Structure 1
Amino acid sequence: MNNRIKRFASAFLAISLVVGLLIPALGGASIAQAEPANPLQKTVEAMEPGWNLGNTFEASGDETSWGNPTVTKEQIQAIKDQGYRTIRIPVTWNHRLGEGPNYEIQPEFLSRIHEVVDWSLDSGLTVILNIHHDSHWMMNMENERDTVMIKYTALWKQIATSFKDYPHTLFFEAVNEPRFSEDWNEDRPVYFEMVDQLNSTFHKIVRESGGNNKTRPLVMEGVTASHSQARLDELYKTITKLNDPNVIATIHYYGLYTFSVNAAGATTFDDAAKKDITDTFDRTYETFVARGIPVIIGEFGLLGFDKSVETLEYGEILKYFEYVTHYAHEKKMPTILWDNGQHFDRTNLTWKNPAFHEVMKASLNGRSSNSQSDSIYLRQGDELQDVTIPMNLNGNTLKEIKAGDRVLAAGTDYVLDGEQLTLKKELLRSLLTDQLGTNATLALTFSYGAGWNVHLIQYTTATTRNVEGGSRDLFIIPVKFNGDRLEKIEATYAAGGNAGPDSWTPFLEFGKSFQPEYENNLITLTKPFLEQLKDGDVQFKLYFWSGATLEYKMTVAGDLINGFSPEMEAAATASPAATATASPTDAASPTVQPDSTDKEEGNQALIYWISGAVLALIVLSAGVVLYRKKNRK
């Protein structure tokens, strides 16, 4: 799915959630929790966990054009060996079709899909095969209904016929996230009617194609695979009209929008993010499962992963994965992880972030434990005190805490009182070094579930510097992080109003408007953020995970942007000599004013370093842009 459209879609879903609470669903509020018997329900429940072979056969070129390696039998077997039971194979068929009206699928491509489906079935996986980004050519269905339906019919007739003798462990999915305009927010009656036509036509084609297709499990979704009540209700109407016990409903879930992309200051898996999960899954369960229609969550993850798995703080991602997987399991709806290559390394056949996998796997049979935060920030030089961390034990007991090979002693090194874990100051003193940053990692294990790490981080207050000669193409805020890490940024105009592409909030979106680079001690403000700025003063407030905050100011005049650090301005007032700076270079290489307190860093070394960093950023940014254009869902 396109990243920008997904953000619009998720924003709409957040709004529709609130509307769904105010306007009772079609009988949804009074539905009993007793589910009518449907043998397919047990089959569906046995499909968890599931994994998407993303950014592969749905890519706009060949299967490697979006950055993933060629699919191999070993990759498929590795997914099975990791405990996965289902593989969803998204396929875009459009650029593999001949001319109309037959729209013949290229024989070599169809053979390749057969090969991967065969590998998957032979490994013991259940397979979901769909038509994926073909939904793009359906967008104009309102004006070209006959043309779209001829192509859609021809495509599904070929797929159904080709796989009709395959076992029932192969499922067909009608279409991925169907939509009919760039605006995902509209619930026009004609949109519901067109999705109904697509699903009903798909059902008729498959059932009439014979073989095992007469009773093959079929998967259908509503407009955009949305979980808004209105769209769930319309999909329910279609499925009940078909009167077929072998039809499954599906939705996609990417979390509360603001949390999912790290926007509007939503940086933690808080009560709002948790409520979005429970409301969504309750709504979906009551509409379908409680009425005897199984549900598959065909895609789930976080929208921020389209930029980086570091869009959100690591521990908050783990808490999200733990709760999504747990609650979906409680509601008997299997989840299928969206993986476009950022999770499972398909070359080395290992997890890039093993903790993600472990917490999701454990959540299928119970709860994992965690803490309010996975980091403890200690200011260097402050007198040490005992530190208490609120825990979420989720019914488990703490078994052990280790710092490296050292097993900590309960009662001496730490005390657990209910769900309050206190680390003793003597322990902290023994673990701290003279270095800034992570000094130690405490590994907690529990009576059940995945382990949990708590990082001890030593820091001093971060500092910023002045910048001269920035432009709307490039501006960096030099930040000496001093062991601290950036949580969020607030940007407002001194004259009033929010600065940034999302004017509804003063907080900037991670990756969209800014990106911290800890190794290089800078924060890059993106071109989309810079281009939309109005002339005048922009006030920034930088929030750090330690709880510290810093002010920063930018002055924008046409294409010229200068940055001002309050601490440097204060130092300049106290000592005018401290303001000496090299002459500005061109706009592409802003000059950073030196900090007179950093005696170990010469002015020329700093200028050379910044210039090199800027050039590297320009090259890197160009590469990222080209990569993202190819590597989107």
Structure 2
Amino acid sequence: MRRKPIRLIAALVAVAAAVAAAFTVRTAFAEPETPKEGGAEQLGAEATVAAMQPGWNLGNSLDAVGEDETAWGNPRITAELLDNIEAQGFNSVRIPVTWSAHQEAEAPYAIDAAYLSRVQEVVDLALDEGLYVLINVHHDSWQWVNQMPTQHDAVLARYDAAWTQIAEAFVDAPPELVFENINEPQFADVSEEEGDALLDELNDSFHAIVRGSGGVNAERLLVIPTLHTSSDQARLDATAESIAALDDPMIAATVHYYGYWPFSVNVAGYTRFNEEVREDIVSTFDRVKATFIDKGVPVILGEWGLLGFDKHTGVVEQGEKLKFFEFLGHYAGEVGLTTMWWDNGQHLDRESFTWKDPELFAHVAGAWEGRSGTAYTDLVYVPAGEAPAAQTIPLHSNGLGFEGVWNGETELAEGTDYTVDETENLTLSAELLAGLAGDGGTGEQAVLEVRFSSGVPWKLHVIASAAPVAQDASGTTTELAIPVAFNGDQLATMEAVYPDGTAAGPHDWTAYKEFATAFKPDYEAGRIVIPEAFFAAMNDGSTVQLTFHFWSGTTVEYTLERSGTTVTGSAA
């Protein structure tokens, strides 16, 4: 179904009136109008948010900072893309929109008609697929809205003008379209409390403009973020007060969650999904539930994932990553959060419509229906060319029944190939591992599947490895490439200290450096790269001792020396 064309002239005329009227409307808000005839039935806020679960973000497209939606490397949005998203089981799509490059920076702050028409076209494509759709004001938050403390009137006028035009363009869109007033709101050089007050002012203005535009907008679901979309209790409380003051039942709150930060970026030795990382999910979601959901305000987790994915999806080891995604999806369902997975092109290939990591998506989707069993690790290292010992891996059945272990289509024999005790410890026999280890070569030799009564099977990668060997190297403070024979092993983290034991390199509060920032393994090229960011934080004329920690448990010592812009590396 198609929506009415954008009425740009009417929109521009409405800008001035709406901006002037917004402040009056805030203090004398009229009863919402009944949606226009022919529109879909409007569900309540809680039912609408529930119907949006699960959701997906169409990131780095219409929110790209530039002249075109392809500016950040993604292809033009098509009906086929949105059809595939719906077919994958998603019920909603968040379409971030950055308006800055397409809106005049001076009054009357008109939005380019062609761009507004394109946004409307994409929204229509998603609605036509039966998806709920959320649109917002996205990177404008840090491009110009953040200047509100020093340019209050100009920023507010531009913000009001933007929402006046957006509201007018979508006034007759069905209630499956949802408005989020601003993404990750932030304000320059003010306290958090002052930021809360400025955000409250934007919330009031947004609410007044949209509701005052009539039509379906009079009852459309509106989404209000916390400052920075933070889940800190003070920020939750401030937004709860702001929403309560609006006294509107068709409002939802939103926060973002990218995990416990050290784990999310792999720094400070947080290589595993441990109890501390798990508890951060629990405590965060419990706060959100107590502040909003328990009081009748539904919540959308507008973005979630791991921050390390901004570099590449291998920053966190695969099994540890999968445990994070499995548990987060499960616990979000427990507390009643609707989740909208952040994807800027890193997950779904938007040309082939295939998942770049099918195993990851399987765990994301599996959590929509229930739990999957996991284990302490997904890596089983055996010594290359040597007789392996039996290995024990603690399982986490997550309340499911254990079904067995498979090697491809072959079910392994319990009691011979493996045993499982009452505490869910899976022991793979020495005989089984010897048979899987191959002829002495290194690398992955087999992938076993631990199957449970439901959910996604847990994979165990049997890997033959020998001790990695690093070689001497020379380079500059721009980059040092250390030749490394990985011999089947994988790098977990890197430790860096000066001779007196103090931490060296970026993040001088920890000896364990950030993966893909202070060091980068390159398995195909056989090297570990120490980039400029590390040397920028290394004292000139100093010596630094590196310890490379590998997933097999092996460590390799290496020494760096810097003199001016020259760097040399020596293997132990």
Shift of 1:356: 1.5
Match of 2:199 among 195, 199, 206: 195
Structure 2 counterpart of 1:57, from 38, 62, 73: 62
Which moves more between the two structures, 405-414 or 240-249?
405-414
Map of 1:284 onto structure 2? 288
Distance 1:174 1:259 in 2: 30
Equivalent in the alignment of 1:70 = 76
Name the counterpart of 1:102: 108
- Map residues 253-268 of structure 1 onto 2, 5 A cutoff: 253-268=257-272
Deviation at 1:451, TM superposition (A): 1.6
Query: Which residue in the other structure is 1:507 paired with?
Result: 512
Task: State the match for 2:26 in structure 1.
Answer: none
2: CA distance between counterparts of 1:356 and 1:474? 32
**1:520 equivalent in alignment to 2:498:** no
The answer for the alignment partner of 1:573 in structure 2 is: none
2:389 paired residue among 385, 389, 413: 385
Shift of 1:411: 2.2
Question: Are 1:311 and 1:511, in contact at CA under 8 Å, matched by a contact in 2?
Answer: yes
1:6-47 deviations in Å (ceiling 9; x for gaps): xxxxxxxxxxxxxxxxxxxxxxxxxxxxxxxx9421321221
Q: Please give the per-residue CA displacement for 1:400-450, whole angstroms capped at 9, x wherever unaligned.
A: 422233321222212222311111111111111121011111022221111
CA distance in 2, matches of 1:540, 1:307: 22
Mapping 1:6-21, distance limit 5 Å: none
1:217 aligns with 2:221: yes
SS at 1:195 equivalent: helix
Measure, in 1, the Cα distance between the counterparts of 2:570 and 2:253: 55
SS in 2 for 1:344: coil
- The answer to whether residue 454 in structure 2 is matched with residue 448 in structure 1 is yes
Write out aligned runs for 1:330-345 (5 A).
330-345=334-349
| Compared CA separation, residues 73 and 504, structure 1 to 2 (3 A) | same
**Deviations 1:263-311 (Å, cap 9, x if unpaired)?**
1111111111101100000001000001111100000000000000011
Specify the alignment match of 1:133 in structure 2: 139
Aligned to 2:490: 485
CA distance in 2, matches of 1:340, 1:527: 26
Moved more, 254-263 or 440-449: 440-449
Q: Distance in 2 between matches of 1:143 and 1:450?
A: 52
CA contact (8 A) 1:488 1:542 kept: yes
Q: Secondary structure at the match of 1:297?
A: strand
Show CA shifts across 1:470-497 (max 9, x none): 2101212222111111111000111442
Aligned residue for 2:187, secondary structure, equals coil
Query: Aligned partners of 2:110, 2:387: CA distance in 1, in Å?
Result: 74
Structure 2 match to 1:367: 371
Partner residue, 1:608: none
User: 1:548: which partner in 2?
Assistant: 554
1:626 counterpart residue number: none
**Structure 1 residue 187 displacement after superposition:** 4.2
1:488 maps to a residue whose letter is T
Deviation at 1:130, TM superposition (A): 0.3
Q: Supply the distance in 2 between the matched residues of 1:357 and 1:533 (Cα, whole angstroms).
A: 39
The residue that corresponds to 1:494 in the other structure is 499
Amino acid at match of 1:248: A
Contact 1:396–1:448, Cα closer than 8 Å, also in 2: yes
Displacement of 1:99 in angstroms is 5.0
> Which consecutive segments of 4 or more residues in structure 1 shift more than 3 A?
none
Counterpart Cα distance in 1 of 2:204 and 2:136: 15
Superposed, 1:26-425 pairs within 5 Å as 39-61=44-66, 62-98=68-104, 100-136=106-142, 137-181=144-188, 187-418=191-422, 419-425=424-430
Instruction: Say if 1:384 and 1:425, in contact at 8 Å, map to a contact too.
Output: yes
Measured in 1, the distance between the counterparts of 2:214 and 2:351 equals 39
Q: Does the CA-based 8 Å contact 1:464-1:565 persist in structure 2?
A: yes
Letter in 1 for 2:481: I
Taking the aligned partners of 2:427 and 2:223, their CA distance within structure 1 comes to 50
In 2, distance between residues paired with 1:187 and 1:287?
Answer: 22
Structure 2: segments with no counterpart, 5+ residues: 1-42
* Residue aligning to 1:587: none
Larger mean CA deviation between 193-202 and 421-430 belongs to: 421-430
Give me the whole-angstrom Cα distance separating, in 2, the residues matched to 1:521 and 1:365: 41
Change (3 A) 1:99 1:191: closer
- Where do residues 606-621 of structure 1 align in structure 2 (5 Å cutoff)? none
State the distance in 1 between where 2:148 and 2:235 align.
Answer: 18
What are the superposed Cα offsets for residues 539-576 of structure 1, whole Å, 9 maximum, x if unpaired?
1111111111111111111122111111xxxxxxxxxx
Root-mean-square deviation (Å): 1.3
Cα deviation code 1:360-393 (max 9, x no counterpart): 1111221110110001111224432221110000
Deviations 1:33-65 (A, max 9, x none): xxxxx9421321221110000000010121011
The SS at the match of 2:359 is helix
Same amino acid, percent of matched pairs: 43
- Secondary structure, counterpart of 2:126 in structure 1: helix
Give the conservation status (yes or no) of the 8 Å contact 1:299–1:335: yes
Greater CA drift, 304-313 or 525-534: 525-534
Higher alpha-carbon deviation: 382-391 or 456-465: 382-391
1:326/1:366 contact within 8 Å kept: yes
Structure-2 separation of matches of 1:507 and 1:266: 9
Which residue is equivalent to 1:11?
A: none
Taking the aligned partners of 2:146 and 2:317, their CA distance within structure 1 comes to: 36
Amino acid at match of 2:460: V
The answer (yes or no) to whether the contact 2:60–2:344 under 8 Å persists in 1 is: yes
Paired with 2:501 and 2:324, the residues of 1 have a C-alpha distance of 35
Query: CA separation in 1, counterparts of 2:89 and 2:555?
Result: 44
Q: Contact 1:495 / 1:537 at 8 angstroms: preserved in 2? A: no
What letter matches 2:52 in structure 1?
M
For the residue of structure 2 that corresponds to 1:350, the secondary structure is coil
Q: TM (normalized to structure 2)?
A: 0.90
* Cα deviation 1:581-630 (Å, max 9, x = unaligned): xxxxxxxxxxxxxxxxxxxxxxxxxxxxxxxxxxxxxxxxxxxxxxxxxx
Q: Is the 8 A contact 1:322 1:363 kept in 2?
A: yes
Q: Which amino acid is 1:500 matched to? A: G
* Aligned-partner Cα distance in 2 for 1:73–1:465: 52
